């Protein structure tokens, strides 16, 4: 009888077949078996690939390979702009023939009754708020609000005023020029803007709706037409405004009245 054959093992690196041959027998009997197995997986640190949209993590577990893809959602919070309370105490330049002042609860309290009025509106004739927040600009997010003002006597068109962080005055317009300065000329995008739609300009106390549409402010206003008296505008239009470098430019004026 022969002594048992020695154990013979061939071991290769991980991931390569391991062949094991064992045998035990006599002169009359020889048994051999060969077993091929995949090497036990090795757990490694996860390989991570990051793109702008996804994070892919591949982890090799002892039992095999598992690939998990998690969609990464990035939420960017857009600043809302100054609050209404900040604006109600803002300092404003000379407007409506009034000197510069600091508002008190949204009003110019320095004016005598015969000097007219300046006040920020809380609501529009539609009942909607008279302001919108989060208007993008080169100065960060702005808040836009409609104001009522006059120098005594008849009403003026509404002022549409823009304020930046902390309630700092950014700019404004009476829907006739890029600034709200007294007798400001219709320059830039405002030059000929009303003529092109057959209008003479906005009516008095004119803004009825106000909204944010992307990076533009969209409002509805009454419009004076060629045969209208100053008191009684018969037209209507949607106006798109965009702040740019401290000026308020007009992107578009679209008449919406039946005669358009």
- Among 70-79, 121-130, 219-228, 234-243, name the one with the lowest average pLDDT: 70-79
- Write down the pLDDT at residue 116: 96
- DSSP state, residue 180: -
Do 236 and 115 belong to one domain?
yes
Task: Enter the pTM of the model.
Answer: 0.71
Q: What is the pLDDT of residues 19-37, one digit of tens each?
A: 333 343 444 443 333 333 4
- At residue 78, the pLDDT reads 54
Select the more confidently predicted residue: 30 or 174. 174
In DSSP terms, 122 is beta-bridged to: none
**Choice between 52 and 256, residue whose per-residue pLDDT is larger:** 256
Do 113 and 170 share a domain, yes or no? yes
Residue 39 pLDDT > 90: no
In a domain, 102, yes or no: yes
Whether 22 and 148 share a structural domain: no
Please choose, from the candidates 42, 224, 216, 26, the residue with its C-alpha nearest in 3D space to the C-alpha of residue 136: 216
Same domain for 243 and 148, yes or no, is yes
55-71 pLDDT per residue, tens:
444 334 444 444 444 55
Same domain, 18 and 135: no
Q: Which two tokens stand for residue 100?
A: 């510069």
88 and 16 assigned to the same domain: no
Cα torsion 210, 242, 93, 143 to 10°: value is 50
Q: Do residue 158 and residue 235 come from a single domain?
A: yes
**Number of domains observed in the structure of the chain:** 2
CA neighbor of 164 nearest in space, from 87, 241, 78: 87
Structural domain range at position 28: 8-36
pLDDT tens, 175-222? 999 999 988 999 999 999 999 999 999 999 999 999 999 999 999 999
- Compute the mean pLDDT over every residue in the chain, rounded to the nearest whole number: 79
Question: Is residue 3 in some structural domain?
Answer: no
Give the pLDDT band (50/70/90) at residue 144. very high
Question: Is 179 a domain residue?
Answer: yes
Report how far residue 122's alpha carbon sits from residue 106's, in angstroms, rounded to the nearest whole number. 9
Binned at pLDDT 50, 70 and 90, residue 124 comes out as: very high
| Inside any domain, residue 144 | yes
Looking at the structure, tell me whether residues 119 and 232 fall in a common domain. yes
Assigned domain for 118 exists = yes
Contacts of 180 (CB under 8 A, 6+ apart): 95, 159, 161, 171, 172, 173, 174
Q: Is residue 224 part of a domain?
A: yes
Q: Is the dihedral of CA 149, 151, 155, 160 positive or negative?
A: negative
What was the pLDDT predicted at 80? Answer: 81
Looking at the structure, tell me whether residues 118 and 202 fall in a common domain. yes
Residue 129 and residue 29 in one domain = no
Residue 126 banded pLDDT, cuts 50, 70, 90: confident
Query: Are 157 and 240 found together in one domain?
Result: yes
Does residue 181 share a domain with residue 91?
Answer: yes
């Amino acid at each position: 009888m022969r002594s048992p054959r020695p154990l013979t093992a061939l071991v290769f690196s991980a991931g390569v077949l391991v062949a094991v041959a064992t045998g035990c027998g006599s002169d009359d009997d020889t048994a051999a078996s060969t077993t091929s197995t995949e090497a036990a997986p090795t757990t490694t640190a996860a390989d991570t690939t990051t793109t702008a949209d996804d994070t892919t993590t591949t982890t090799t577990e002892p039992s095999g390979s598992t690939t998990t893809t998690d969609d990464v959602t990035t939420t960017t919070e857009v600043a809302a702009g100054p609050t209404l309370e900040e604006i109600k105490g803002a300092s404003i330049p000379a407007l409506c023939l009034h000197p510069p002042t600091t508002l008190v609860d949204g009003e110019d309290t320095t004016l005598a009754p015969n000097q007219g009025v300046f006040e920020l509106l809380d609501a529009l004739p539609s009942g909607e708020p008279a302001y919108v927040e989060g208007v993008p600009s080169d100065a960060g997010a702005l808040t836009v609000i409609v104001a009522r003002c006059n120098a005594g006597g008849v009403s003026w068109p509404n002022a549409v005023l823009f304020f930046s962080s902390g309630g700092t005055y950014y700019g404004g317009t009476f829907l006739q020029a890029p600034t709200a300065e007294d007798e400001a000329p219709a320059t830039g995008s405002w030059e000929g803007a009303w003529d092109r739609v057959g209008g003479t300009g906005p009516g008095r106390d004119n803004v009825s709706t106000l909204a944010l549409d992307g990076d533009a402010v969209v409002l509805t206003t009454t419009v004076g037409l060629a045969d209208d008296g100053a008191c009684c505008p018969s037209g209507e239009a949607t106006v798109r405004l965009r702040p740019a470098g401290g000026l308020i430019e007009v992107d578009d004026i679209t008449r919406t009245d039946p005669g358009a």
